[in-house]
Amino acid sequence: MTRAIQPPTPTAWLSTLLLSIGLVQASLAEDTSTDEPYSSQQLAVLAGNCASCHGTDGRLAGAVPAIAGRPASALESRLLSFKRDEIADTTIMDRIAKGYSDEELAALATHFASIDKQ
Amino acid sequence: MSQDNGRSGLTRRQLIQGMGAASTLPLLGGVAPFAIGNQSAGRVVVIGGGFGGATAAKYLKRANPAIDVTMVEPAEVFYTCPFSNLFLGGLRELNAIAHGYDELRGRYGVKVIHAMAEDVDPDGHRVSLSNSDTLDYDRLVLSPGIDIRWDALEGYDEAAAEKAPHSWKAGPQTELLKRQLEGMDDGGTFVMVAPENPFRCPPGPYERASMVAHYFTQHKPNAKVLILDAKDNFSKQGLFTAGWEQLYGDRIEWVGLSNDGRVTRVDANNLEVETEFGTRHQADVLNVIPPQKAGWIADRAGVTDDSGWVPVKAETFESQRVNDIHVVGDATVATPMPKSGFCANAQAKVVAAAIAATLEGSTAPDPYWANTCYSLIGPEYGISVAGVYRVQDGVIASVEGAGGLSPTDAPEATRALEAEYAVGWYNAICQDTWGTEA
């Protein structure tokens, strides 16, 4: 049976995150700065799904482009455009991007921008 | 096994490096009970070296290189089921779906043992191997794939599979089917028996029918494909049906459950099958995709239920029945996620993060999963289905508004792009799982 859920609203997400951060801060403080909503572990899980088509850390270039090391602003704007059906000839990323909140897409953009291309 | 290098400072720095993240904050010592002093960062045994197992091993090491990870897989070369249909269609060599374990060993420091895991003692946290070794674990990851239910379809046993191959585990069975197709007379009929749900790779039988039809257009222009199906609906049905008509005319015939498509008896010696209502079909090449269950080591570990599959806790894919055993991939009950290599890879990453966090004494990150299943109807005709998944109310759920099928009215250029992306996907997931460079 398929259950459908709504993507979390930014507010609900943030409060969940703030709560989570509070709970895990003691053990994660060294790699979670206070203005970053996602721990590095959480980002790794979020970004893990991208690797299945873009290669580990988003570095594989081929028919599917590499995403590592691109400017965060370009990645974020591209992801948001996919989500909003603003890019003609899209095959799959429109369907994928709709599964994430704008905040999650922004965090993914920042994450992949911070990874060296190779 | 080394258990003395898991000091907390080292562990954390390696963790941070592994994530590619930078930190300017000072380390706060003594907050993660499992990482203090001489404690090990933990021992994890992974059984199975497919999409789920190899990914779990790699991502455990990426999360924390100080975790002692041992992977058990009998085969030194792993052949993927994804793209094995392209081999049947003549689009790809068998060695182009073969993968090894050099990256896991050399780059990530996973201990890879080529043996069969024969038993699991959940109370003693110990795995016994066919080479008489035993492995102790703090956490066990099972990625056992599927086994054929040899008792489920009359006349279809292991001997029958040498004449009427299932080819649902890639390798020698795939080669056998390929040889049979090549040896078949033009004008012959390829009969495929397709199973009820659930089974490995829901669109797989229909992609296989497509690829065999493609091969026939090239080499046996008068040959036909007949699919006898135990169900009335199948994955991407509308897209497949439209693509078949466009590329292959009436070469492919599909008979569903309601039209007496369910095969109840197989006569492999005579390449004949009989359906529920007594219709007999003669094949020239017979491919029986039989009912399946979780790989048998799951039974030994006590994690399967009466269905033959493995129920898991949604957040962590830990067994619902046995503590400290996580199960990923086709063996699990993970609906609405399909039994796909993509999902096994995605589940393995969540499990790796959850285990790494648990061993460190921290909270597991929230799970996120996605899936994309590409199917090729022709060399330049690709279709896909996608999904994004989260946990809601304790169960896995599809994110509303995301995922879904390729559009039915897409132009040829889109089908061609999806065929290209299918190859891109395969190269990427094999790089991500085994480190294979295409």
Handedness of CA B107, B110, B112, B116 (dihedral sign): negative
CB-CB neighbours of B267 under 10 Å: 19
What domains can be seen in chain B, in order of their start residue?
8-148+293-364 (3.50.50.60), 160-290 (3.50.50.60)
A82 and chain B in contact, CB less than 8 A: no
Under DSSP, is residue B188 helix (H, G, I), strand (E, B) or coil?
coil
Q: Is A16 among the domain residues?
A: no
Structure tokens at A14: 């943030």
Q: pLDDT below 70 — which residues of chain B?
A: 1-39
Please state, in angstroms and rounded to a whole number, the distance separating the CA atoms of residues B251 and B249.
6
Contact at CB, B421 and A57, closer than 8 angstroms: no
Nearest neighbour of A95 by CB, restricted to B336, B404, B421: B404
Q: Is A64 among the domain residues?
A: yes
pLDDT, tens digit, for every residue of B213-244?
A: 999 999 999 999 999 999 999 999 999 999 99
Distance from CA of A111 to the nearest CA of B (A): 9
Q: Is A10 among the domain residues?
A: no
β-strand partners of B114: none
CB-CB neighbours of B179 under 10 Å: 12
Structure tokens at B18: 């592994």
What's residue B36's pLDDT?
44
Distance from CA of A77 to the nearest CA of B (A): 18
Q: Is A110 among the domain residues?
A: yes
Suggest the residue from A2, A16, A17, A27 to mutate for an interface test with chain B (most B CBs closer than 10 A). A27
Chain A: residue whose CA lies nearest to B435:
A56
The series of mean pLDDT values per 10 residues for chain A, 118 residues long, is 52 48 43 69 97 98 96 98 96 98 98 94
What's residue B11's pLDDT?
37
Contact at CB, B336 and A7, closer than 8 angstroms: no
Are B367 and A49 contacting, i.e. CB atoms less than 8 angstroms apart? no
What's residue B98's pLDDT?
98
What's residue B390's pLDDT?
98
Distance from CA of B417 to the nearest CA of A (A): 8
Please state, in angstroms and rounded to a whole number, the distance separating the CA atoms of residues B200 and B343.
11
Please state, in angstroms and rounded to a whole number, the distance separating the CA atoms of residues B358 and B186.
59
Q: How many domains does chain A have?
A: 1
Are B396 and B337 contacting, i.e. CB atoms less than 8 angstroms apart? yes
What's residue A6's pLDDT?
59
CATH number for the domain harbouring residue A78: 1.10.760.10
Q: Is A44 among the domain residues?
A: yes
Contact at CB, A4 and B399, closer than 8 angstroms: yes
Q: Is A33 among the domain residues?
A: no
Contact at CB, A52 and B404, closer than 8 angstroms: no
Q: Smallest Cα–Cα separation from B145: which of B313, B348, B428, B314?
A: B348
What's residue B438's pLDDT?
80
* Residues in chain A closer than 8 A to B20 (CB atoms): 57, 114-116
Are B340 and B329 contacting, i.e. CB atoms less than 8 angstroms apart? no
Structure tokens at B64: 């924390």
Handedness of CA B299, B301, B307, B310 (dihedral sign): negative
What's residue A37's pLDDT?
86
Angle formed by the axes of helices A40-54 and B412-434, nearest 10°: 130
What's residue B31's pLDDT?
39
A46 and chain B in contact, CB less than 8 A: yes
pLDDT, tens digit, for every residue of B19-53?
A: 333 333 334 333 344 444 445 799 999 999 999 99
CB hemisphere CA count around B13 (13 angstroms): 7
Instruction: Mention every residue, 6+ apart, whose C-beta is less than 8 A from residue B265.
Output: B153, B154, B155, B273, B274
Distance from CA of B16 to the nearest CA of A (A): 7
Please state, in angstroms and rounded to a whole number, the distance separating the CA atoms of residues B107 and A53.
21
A52 and chain B in contact, CB less than 8 A: yes
Please state, in angstroms and rounded to a whole number, the distance separating the CA atoms of residues B308 and B303.
9
What's residue A35's pLDDT?
60
Are B108 and B58 contacting, i.e. CB atoms less than 8 angstroms apart? yes
Range of the domain at A85: 39-118
Q: Is A115 among the domain residues?
A: yes
Q: Is A92 among the domain residues?
A: yes
A3 and chain B in contact, CB less than 8 A: yes
Under DSSP, is residue B337 helix (H, G, I), strand (E, B) or coil?
coil
